[in-house]
Structures are given as structure tokens and as C-alpha cells.
């Protein structure tokens, strides 16, 4: 009897986990891109390309685990903000950045967040979203704001710099 009850509890737990994982993945695909962890060598390259200073305000649009938000916050930028809509990635990011006073994680769709005060913006999103954001960047970003796109370039703008890191490309734009 005990083994039957234990088996039922385990099955319920596994079914709940699978359902949560499925819903979580569907949210990320629906809103723009699945969570993909960024390797440390790529994080270092993103930070070098952004060349952050103490007055900079950094935004990561779709911050996933918050690894890049954390890296910019540790470079002592004025503020490092991650925006994430996927529940599990949001909570992981909040946990990762919990001790950094200049790091903030927002649980929202970035379409509903004003990031026009940003001086460095990073995104690793599906190409259609990058192109949609390009129009918003043109309208809202201040002069000399740096935008770093991973793997998918902004088609309407010429990058200032392109670097290759392993199988990835980083595109730096200035607005």
C-alpha cells in the first residue's frame, strides 16, 4: 500500500513538473525566444563590446538566467536591468542577482517596459523581434546608445562592429 501511494505521489509530482515545463516553454516561445543559457566566454565578450562605464544604464531584453545582467552590474554600471517574461527564467535571474544593489529584474513583456533611458541594450531574440525592436530603438533611444544583438542583426542598420565568438556573432550598433 505504501509503495502504491508513493508511486502516485511521484507520478503527480512528475506530471506537475512536465506541465509547468511545457507551459513555461510555451510562454517563452509565444513572447519571443526560448531560454538559452549564455556561455561565460560569450558573456565576457558582450561586456567587452559594451565597454560599460559607471554612468551607464544597461538593459537585457529577455534576460533568461540573468547572467549578463549580473556581469554588467559587477562592472559597476549605474543600473543593470533584466526584463524576462518566462516564469522559471525570471526566478532564476532574481536569485542570481539578489545580492547586487545595482541589478534589477522585471517580470514583464519588454513591449511594456520603457528602456529609453538605457545607454547599453542587449538582446538575443528571434529575428522578427529584433526587426520590430529596431523601429522602437530608432524612435526612443538617446544618441550614442549602444545596442548589442546576438546572432541576429538589425537589417535596417549597419553595425559599428561585428565580432565572432565561437559559433556566435555579436553585432554592435550605435543610435
* Residues 92, 170 within the same domain: yes
Q: How confident is the model at residue 15 (pLDDT cuts 50, 70, 90)?
A: low
Give dist(CA 100, CA 119) in Å, integer. 19
- Whether residues 44 and 26 fall in one domain: no
Beta strand pairing call for 168-174 and 146-150: antiparallel
Q: Do 61 and 13 reside in the same domain of the chain?
A: no
**Torsion angle of the four alpha carbons 18, 36, 141, 111, in this order, in degrees rounded to the nearest 10:** -10
Distance CA 172, CA 50 (A): 8
Q: Report the CATH number at residue 135.
A: 3.40.50.150
159 and 96 within one domain: yes
Cβ within 8 Å of residue 168, ≥6 positions away: 42, 150, 151
Q: Between 37 and 17, name the one with better pLDDT.
A: 37
Answer for the pair 52, 122: CB distance below 8 angstroms, yes or no.
no
54 and 105 both lie in a single domain: yes
Residues 19 and 51 in one domain: no
Q: Which of 11-20, 47-56, 82-91 has the least mean pLDDT?
A: 11-20
- Domain residues for the domain of 14 are 1-31
**What is the percentage of the chain residues whose pLDDT exceeds 70?**
85
In sequence order, what are the residues at sequence separation of 6 or more whose Cβ sits closer than 8 angstroms to the Cβ of residue 5? none
The answer to whether residues 17 and 76 belong to one domain is: no
**What's the pLDDT score for residue 18?**
62
For residues 94 and 121, state if they share a domain: yes
Mean pLDDT, range 138-145, rounded to an integer: 96
The answer to which of 21-25, 86-90, 138-142 has the lowest mean pLDDT is: 21-25
Task: Return all residues near 157 (Cβ < 8 A) that are at least 6 apart.
Answer: 134, 173
Residues 81 and 1 in one domain: no
State whether 164 and 145 are in the same domain: yes
Confidence of residue 142 (pLDDT cuts 50, 70, 90): very high
H-only helix segments in the chain? 2-31, 40-50, 67-74, 87-96, 127-140
What are the φ/ψ torsions at residue 16 (nearest 5 degrees)? -65, -40
Cα distance between residue 31 and residue 172, in whole Å: 24
67 & 98 share domain: yes
Rounded to the nearest integer, the mean pLDDT of the chain is 89
pTM of the model: 0.84
Task: Please state the domain count of the chain.
Answer: 2
pLDDT for position 8: 73
List pLDDT tens digits, range 55-91: 999 999 999 999 999 999 999 999 999 999 988 899 9
Residues 64 and 120 in one domain: yes
Amino acid at each position: 500500500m505504501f509503495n502504491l501511494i508513493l508511486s502516485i505521489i511521484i507520478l503527480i509530482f512528475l506530471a506537475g513538473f512536465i506541465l509547468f515545463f511545457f507551459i513555461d516553454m510555451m510562454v517563452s516561445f509565444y513572447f519571443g525566444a526560448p531560454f538559452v543559457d549564455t556561455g561565460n566566454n560569450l558573456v565576457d565578450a558582450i561586456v567587452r563590446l559594451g565597454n560599460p562605464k559607471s554612468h551607464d544604464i544597461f538593459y537585457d531584453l529577455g534576460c533568461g538566467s540573468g547572467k549578463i545582467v549580473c556581469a554588467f552590474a559587477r562592472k559597476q554600471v549605474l543600473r543593470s536591468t533584466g526584463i524576462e517574461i518566462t516564469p522559471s527564467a525570471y526566478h532564476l535571474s532574481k536569485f542570481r542577482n539578489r545580492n547586487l544593489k545595482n541589478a534589477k529584474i522585471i517580470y514583464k513583456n519588454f513591449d511594456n517596459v520603457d528602456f529609453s533611458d538605457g545607454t547599453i541594450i542587449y538582446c538575443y531574440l528571434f529575428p522578427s523581434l529584433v526587426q520590430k525592436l529596431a523601429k522602437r530603438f530608432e524612435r526612443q533611444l538617446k544618441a550614442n546608445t549602444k545596442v548589442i544583438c546576438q546572432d541576429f542583426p538589425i537589417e535596417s542598420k549597419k553595425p559599428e562592429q561585428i565580432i565572432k565568438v565561437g559559433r556566435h556573432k555579436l553585432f554592435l550598433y550605435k543610435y
